[in-house]
Amino acid sequence: MIIGIICSHIREGKEILKAVRNLQEKEANGLNLWEGFFKDHRLILATNVFGKDLASLATSFLIKEIKVEIVINCGGAGAINPKRKIKDIIIGNNFIKYDSFSKDTFQVIKKSFLNLVNKFKELTTSYHDHKICEGLIVSGNENVENFSLKNTLWKKHQAECVDWESATVAKISIQNKIPFLILRGISDQAKENFKEEFYQNIDKVAKIYSKLFLKFLSKLT
């Protein structure tokens, strides 16, 4: 199976790359790509994909040019749900572009390809001390770094977490009828010191979701 993986920061994907054999780095269509094999799967990982524009470019390229059969988006995220703690894992099942100014502002992208979500959930409901849950992810091209915006997103959408890319990856995958899976680890609390928290926690967060993801791939046929 050909699987495309999208990560914003290389540190979000490095634990996955460690498990890949015959790893090669290359550039294509302005994207930084890593390609190799895990089990019987061919993996193509795109890194340095920041924001919805690059997420759109990367997802479209993987689907139309590489002909991937599944799209995976994984990385860190800021907690919106007050109950979420650092290193909790979120499996996205609905997605909102909360900063969209088009007529479909705040329109939820419908649940799709739940077979992948359900297969991933079957792995485990908890991983050591870290909760794994399914829920809504909101995306926008801005940093959520104050309580006011975080509180607004919680009250308006009851979102689990926030990032920049998930909603775009989900939307393009749905438009192209390609199964997808969005995994986000809580790397910060979406407040004033979020950058410090992100860089302090992202390696630990990535190690958790990468271990689960590789276990998921091992069982995927």
- Residue 25, strand partner residues: 34
Q: Average pLDDT in the 51-65 region? A: 95
Predicted confidence at residue 11, as pLDDT, reads 95
Structure tokens at 68: 């991937």
Give the tokens for residue 10: 């290389």
Partners of residue 73 on adjacent β-strands: 6, 182
Residue pair 139/162 in contact by the 8 Å Cβ criterion: yes
Q: Which residues in 7-26 are b (16+ Cβ under 10 Å) and which e?
A: bbbebbbbbbbebbeeeeee
Q: Is the pLDDT of residue 100 over 80?
A: no
Q: Give, in order, the Cα–Cα distances in Å from 215 to each of 72, 89, 212.
A: 14, 15, 5
Can you give the C-alpha Rg of the chain in angstroms?
16
Domains identified in the chain and CATH numbers: 2-219 (3.40.50.1580)
Q: Each residue of 165-195: pLDDT tens digit?
A: 999 999 999 889 899 999 999 999 988 888 8
| Residue, of 9 and 105, whose pLDDT is higher | 9
Question: What does the alpha-carbon distance between residue 75 and residue 44 come to, in Å, rounded to a whole number?
Answer: 16
| Least reliable range by pLDDT among 35-39, 64-68, 124-128, 136-140 | 124-128
pLDDT tens digits for 111-164? 445 677 877 877 665 555 568 888 999 998 888 888 888 999 999 999 999 999
**pTM, entire model:** 0.90
